Amino acid sequence: MTRIGCGRPARRGSRGNSGFTLLEVMVVVVILGILATVLVTQITGRIGIAQREATKAQIKQIESAVEEFKLLGRRYPENPEELLRKPGDFRGTWPDNGFLRGGDSAILDPWGKEFVYRKNPSGSERRIEIISLGADSQEGGEGEDEDIKNWEDKKNR
């Protein structure tokens, strides 16, 4: 009986394996791991910066709403919720959607915590204080955990 080949002569000494060695695969996995670590580090740092900048913008928005409330209602709000829902003793013209857009989330910082709001704080000449306690939700801290305060941003302008 005659055999019919596939048209290609077989190589002597060749195993016929056409894959990657374990060492090659491991080198690629290590390189991908290093790249992923660098990317995650870069992205995480930028997210923290973006959250801090968003917090500063949000504090300015709340501060403006407080001043508008004062102008129309002839007093400062007792708490940030009064910027969203008309208090019973409010004498001025109430805006259709309140003084802040975004509902209850408008008074939460990017970490999901309520801003600290103080009206006529003792020992201070400020009429109001609006503070985000940062990522750790505790006073003080550094980096992402550092508190963001409405009066400190004005000093840096």
SS3 68: helix
Name the band, by pLDDT with cuts 50, 70 and 90, for residue 10: low
Backbone conformation region of residue 137, classed left if phi is above 0, alpha if psi is from -120 to 50, else beta: left
The position carrying tokens 């660098």 is 38
Non-local CB neighbours of 36 within 8 Å, separated by 6+ positions: none
Name the band, by pLDDT with cuts 50, 70 and 90, for residue 124: confident
Secondary element (H or E) of residue 7: none
Percent of the chain with pLDDT over 70: 85
Structural domains in the chain, CATH included, are 55-155 (3.30.700.10)
pLDDT of residue 116: 94
Buried b (16+ CB within 10 A) or exposed e, 121-133: eeeeeeebbbbbb
Q: pTM of the full predicted structure?
A: 0.69
* 44-57: pLDDT as tens digits: 778 888 889 999 99
Burial of residue 83 (CB within 10 Å: 0-12, 13-18, 19+) is: buried
Residue 73 has pLDDT above 80, yes or no: yes
Pick from 150, 126, 137, 123: which is nearest to 62 by CA? 150
Backbone conformation region of residue 109, classed left if phi is above 0, alpha if psi is from -120 to 50, else beta: beta
Non-local CB neighbours of 62 within 8 Å, separated by 6+ positions: 80, 83, 100, 106, 107, 115, 117, 130, 150
CA atoms of 53 and 110, how far apart (whole Å):
10
